[in-house]
């Protein structure tokens, strides 16, 4: 009996494989970490990928990986905090055809409490993590309305919904991402634009490795294990796991899902002792 569940075979393939054939997906911050994993995953499932990254070199590196695997990708240097620059890039992309999917991923982290967060750091986190998301959604929403629909996926964080120590500015920004997601989903229902977000717990990215090297020299392994065990499941997520959920939410299999913040947290919210 067929059910609505997705089932995987032993080799990881899917008899009802999620496909993005014919779709154009824009992935911001696609040059590394979670964005890179999402770009690769979407390309492997049929999408044409446009990577926007502040580092053109990083964007091109991801593109070469995708093209080398038989996919289609293009790289663009873009600072998401620069509204004029973002507008130009999205108009250029829209001129090539439909803008089917936007994955708002480009972001920065920050360590600090209210008192230890300088104003310039607070402003920088806001510009990248909040205004950057706003700029990209603003630049693409009109094109999506005109073409009769689209999908926006924002990368938030459990920090946007939970009190996490020393993450004052970062938590502020991710809470804003969640709120923007709800608002856009509600306002554009009639335009057939779906908008969701993913809130991961800790994900093992190059940022984590760099943070441990810089702050705990000689104790990297010890601190990595400590951070890993802060998730009840006992480890950090891998970028590919975030990419798997992103693929589902941007596919037609999720056509009935909008205005949802999806935790990908290893039990962080519900299973903590």
Dihedral class, residue 7 (left if φ above 0, else alpha if ψ from -120 to 50, else beta): beta
Rounded distance between C-alpha atoms, residue 183 and residue 44, angstroms? 31
State the Cα–Cα distance between residues 36 and 39, nearest whole angstrom.
5
- CA–CA dist 74, 181 (Å, integer): 27
Q: Which residues are catalytic?
A: 170
Instruction: Retrieve residue 49's tokens.
Output: 């990928």
Provide, for the chain, the percentages of residues in helix, strand and coil under a 3-state DSSP scheme, each rounded to the nearest 5.
Answer: 45, 15, 40
Query: Shortest CA distance to 156 belongs to which of 34, 43, 266, 250?
Result: 34
């Amino acid at each position: 009996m067929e059910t609505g569940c997705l089932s995987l075979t032993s080799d990881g393939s899917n008899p009802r494989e999620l496909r993005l054939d014919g779709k154009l997906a824009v992935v911001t911050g696609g040059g590394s970490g979670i964005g890179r994993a999402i770009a690769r995953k979407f390309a492997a499932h049929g999408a044409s990928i446009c990577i926007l990254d502040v580092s053109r070199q990083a964007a091109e590196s991801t593109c070469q990986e995708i093209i080398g695997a038989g996919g289609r990708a293009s790289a663009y240097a873009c600072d998401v905090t620069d509204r004029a620059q973002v507008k130009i890039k999205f108009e250029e992309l829209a001129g090539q055809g439909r803008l089917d999917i936007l994955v708002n991923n480009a972001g920065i982290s920050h360590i600090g409490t209210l008192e230890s967060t300088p104003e310039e750091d607070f402003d920088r986190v806001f510009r990248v993590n909040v205004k950057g998301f706003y700029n990209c959604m603003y630049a693409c929403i009109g094109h999506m309305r005109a073409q009769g629909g689209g999908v926006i996926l924002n990368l938030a964080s459990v920090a946007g919904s939970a009190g996490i120590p020393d993450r004052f500015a970062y938590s502020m920004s991710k809470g804003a991402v969640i709120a923007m997601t709800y608002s856009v989903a509600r306002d554009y229902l009639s335009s057939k634009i779906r908008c969701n977000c993913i809130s991961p717990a800790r994900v093992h990215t190059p940022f984590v490795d760099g943070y441990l090297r810089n702050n705990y020299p000689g104790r990297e392994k010890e601190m990595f294990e400590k951070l890993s065990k802060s998730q009840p499941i006992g480890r950090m997520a891998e970028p590919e796991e975030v990419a798997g959920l992103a693929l589902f939410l941007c596919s037609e299999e999720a056509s009935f899902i909008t205005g949802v913040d999806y935790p990908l947290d290893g039990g962080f919210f519900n299973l903590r002792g």
